[in-house]
Structure 1
């Protein structure tokens, strides 16, 4: 594609060796996305439509036959969702405002299975009072986490859930960038300068924030969901490759690998075997109107998720969330209640250790009881 990557491999949390390829320091995703966008816009057979929002999937019989937007119904032989995760549902997040799990919820309403919603990763080092993520690559190059007394208190390259809980126990921490080669991270240093911070002079205040949705729409390794005609790739999908706690930088790799596999599989989709009737409006099962406005989730929902389904959960808080007016919040809470253990990105104060009998996926389907499944 022509993306120019940095020469050296990077080290990030949970990794045992340097194996992460970067571009522009911590700007890898941006560099890859820019090249892909240029290719898409230049392709004669791809139509890009802006300012149009998917509201639902169009189902006819036992298959997905397209999408319904805020303007029209669009029929398609195959529909591939790449709608991202749901981490913006939490009041403190690294995600853009639109990352509220719309694709996951639409797939669930249409009859596709979803899984592993309890596994939400919280990034340890987000600039305080900001969505600016201070990449793990900084700690991989030697940045230190300090408490208010200037002392180290954790292993900076431990898995994210461990580091995030260690910081949360103190409220905030200080990320010391003074001794690293800051020139390797020009975009991050520029963002800090814009916000009035000088990392050469003083450590930067950081705190955890919701960052990545491990679970999502259940797919096979070619992106196929349980609903014929519907595919999913990227953060909205649950392939199982991340287990309970994604390794740093594997999400971008997942998008590239499974995005291609899903697209190639979708090209072979045969389409409906019988004529598809015209789209007719219908009530959306499992959906509650009024919880969002123009794609923005009510702030009470976001505050409740941070309080009751944040880094540390328990029965009382999760049970409160089951009464939420927001369908995805209820499904997240239900999954977290079923998982009576602590594993990966899911930590329950009332069940603080792993339970081997729960080494399975929590799978939810509309109008069915939750199931614990083993995927091979």
Structure 2
């Protein structure tokens, strides 16, 4: 057992990206003690850190109504209008208060003020950025701000295994008759033991599901952990079939997961096939600035038509100097022998953002008392069937702050009697060591299956085949999970298979194409 075993803390936040940090600081500023847990050794590692393009603010001649219209149009009007209105009105105010004033994020400026950029499906320039490393800068500065609060502690290298509820985990038989609520979480510590941490509220801020697919812009840890834990606790997961594929991720055998931000196309870059044709001009009236799902499908079809594994993004004639506007991408590509000021960039679509997630209300609260979800693992209704570029960080900040404040208003500590009735983690009588190669192989198989059958372009036959194969794999994984020595890779595989099944099942039940769910008949 670790030093945190059977300890109590007011709030446990699982995840250290912008959404989790926002919830943590909002609760801490109301006087609650917060523990931020991340399975990575470095709390900087998150989807937030990898975000390049920027975060929505207020552009010139902008308004909440205009932003709301753009979000709704990108989301195919599958959005919850109340949630969209909230983020359009409150979001920019929170950017100003928390990121600009408190965390002092050094967003790029000109002599006239902020240097706004524009991305696909936005009607005007309204996106703040820090060159092409916006997420990195936001994460570093906001983490420093949150870390300065004495009520916030960080626990790195700990993997959340499962939520603890009174009705499921208590040894007191009467608890099964009472309303279920979250009272804690089981955490796998770096020494291989499992700690039981009691709490009044758990915030799931575990990020997305990108690593369930063969090509992704997400970090390796994006295996749907929060979604899986919530689902096992009986919390609804909605809109799971809406997986946004980013059109442009660098295609290179030695450099995986590097996003080529949509801001490139906002500054004039164009997609080009192997014949040298700028093919978006014949596909969509907005050309290269069409919504992401349509661009991703266009690239996918162009690759199929030409029999190639990638297309090109031509950034040789931008309205800005690529070396100063996009220094990280420029230098990274240069190290690979690719001068993007002179050479087209090979790109491929990749799983990027989960528009579905754990069902929550406008305060990030789930149907299970004591459980909240924020950021990419949550479904607030903001994104609908597809996410508008650079709204994800805005949503993460807005709903993270709201969740933290709601927790403070509603906080309730589980009784000591209830805590005493919860057992420590039960290890198998004879733990089996599982070959890590087998675990890695199963995940690789799942990623390939999801990419080909539940990917950018879906068919009924592919989806049903995927569901059948995933069901078989899940049965096998659950069987050895119950006997295996608990490890991070096994926990992640178990979560990934469950979430893959949720996504495939949702896609099978939704045969009408809308947004980033496209079924070809």
TM-score interval w.r.t. the shorter chain? 0.7 to 0.9
1:174 matches 2:276: no
1:164 to 284, 296, 299: 296
| Superposition deviation, residue 292 in structure 1 | 8.9
Deviation at 1:305, TM superposition (A): 0.2
Deviation at 1:246, TM superposition (A): 0.3
Q: What CA distance in whole angstroms lies between the structure 2 residues aligned with 1:273 and 1:256?
A: 28
What SS does the aligned partner of 1:14 have?
coil
Kept in 2: contact 1:291–1:298 (CA 8 A): no
Given the two structures, how large is their TM-score scaled by the length of structure 1?
A: 0.87
How many residues end up aligned between the 2 structures? Answer: 343
SS of equivalent residue, structure 1 residue 10: coil
Could you tell me how far 1:291 is from its partner in structure 2?
12
2:161 is the alignment partner of 1:55: yes
Q: 1:11 aligns with which of 105, 118, 124?
A: 118
1:76-225 equivalence runs, <5 A: 76-129=199-252, 130-154=256-280, 155-171=287-303, 172-180=310-318, 181=320, 182=322, 183-225=324-366
Q: Relative to structure 1, is the Cα distance of residues 265 and 293 closer, same or farther in structure 2, using a 3 angstrom cutoff? A: farther
Distance 1:294 1:220 in 2: 39
Deviates more, 1:335-344 or 1:293-302: 293-302
Q: Deviation of residue 281 (structure 1)?
A: 4.6
2:517 to 342, 346, 350: 346
2:60 maps to: none
Query: Matches of 1:292 and 1:118 in 2, distance apart?
Result: 30
- Answer whether contact 2:196 2:424 (CA < 8 A) is retained: no
Offset of 1:23 from its aligned partner? 1.7
Task: State the distance in 1 between where 2:347 and 2:104 align.
Answer: 34
1:279 match: secondary structure: coil
Q: CA deviation at 1:345?
A: 0.6
List per-residue Cα deviations over 1:127-179 (Å, max 9, x = no partner): 11331110000100011111112121111100001111111112221111111
CA displacement 1:16-48 (0-9 Å, x = unmatched): 221211122x21111111112112333222111
Return the offset for 1:110. 0.9
Per-residue deviation, 1:95? 0.5
> CA contact under 8 A between 1:98 and 1:295: conserved in structure 2?
no
Runs of at least 5 residues in structure 2 that lack an aligned partner in the other structure? 1-102, 109-113, 168-179, 189-193, 281-286, 304-309, 428-433, 475-496
Quick one: distance in 2 between partners of 1:272 and 1:36?
28
Match of 1:331 among 491, 502, 505: 502
Counterpart CA distance in 1 for 2:463 and 2:183 is 36
Q: Which segments of structure 1 move beyond 6 Å, counting only runs of 4 or more? A: 290-297
Deviation, structure 1 residue 330: 1.1
Q: 1:282 to 1:346 in 2, by over 3 A?
A: farther
Question: Deviations 1:270-304 (Å, cap 9, x if unpaired)?
Answer: 32565422235579xxxxxx899999661000000
Match of 2:462 in 1: 317
Distance 2:216 2:185 in 1: 28
Give the match's secondary structure for 2:464. helix
Q: How has the CA–CA distance of structure 1 residues 68 and 80 changed in structure 2, closer, same or farther, with 3 Å as cutoff?
A: same
Conservation of the 8 A alpha-carbon contact between 1:90 and 1:303: yes
Structure 1, unaligned stretches of length 5 or more?
284-289, 351-376
SS of the equivalent of 1:248 reads coil
Q: CA deviation at 1:266?
A: 1.3
Q: CA deviation at 1:118?
A: 0.3
Which structure carries more helix by proportion?
2
Greater Rg over alpha carbons, structure: 2
User: Which residue does the alignment assign to 1:66?
Assistant: 184
| Deviation, structure 1 residue 250 | 0.4
Q: How does 1:186-335 map to 2 (within 5 A)?
A: 186-271=327-412, 274=415, 275-276=417-418, 277-279=421-423, 281=425, 298-323=443-468, 324=470, 325=474, 326-335=497-506
Higher RCO (C-alpha 8 Å, min separation 6): 2
Contact 2:199 2:413 in 1 (8 A): no
CA positional deviation for 1:13: 1.0
3-state DSSP class of the match of 1:268?
Answer: helix
CA-based RMSD: 2.0
